[in-house]
Amino acid sequence: MIALQAKTDEVFVHNALVDYAVRLVLSSRAPAEYGLADLAPLIAHGASPRATLGLVAAGRALALMRGRTYVLPQDIFDVGPDVLRHRLLLSYEALADGVDAEQVVNRILSTVHAPRVASTSRTA
């Protein structure tokens, strides 16, 4: 188990993907700045900076499980709902309107665009 964790830490993450993870988290904290002004009243507290670490770590693990030594934007996108869903605190208005965190996260993921990073663009 520890060897697998160490192997996950070796999975390459391009700087553009770290930036993508940061933008996903920031969009939950300042939705209007990312074209999501309608979400602002639904979010009492956005994801913390630790969510960025969670997105990158989970993206690395998923890439490894998919047989790669590098993370693709799709890996971050795919782990996004699981990482972000429980890190949002919805407002009373959202709860009263029947809006759940899954809907908010899906909207964030569909609006914040992932970078285009080719697997051959690995730079250490």
Q: What is the pTM of this model?
A: 0.90
pLDDT band for 6, please (50, 70, 90 cuts).
confident
**pLDDT tens digits, one per residue of 43-78:** 999 999 999 999 999 999 999 999 999 999 999 999
Domains and CATH numbers, the chain: 2-112 (1.10.8.80)
Amino acid, single-letter form, for residue 117: V
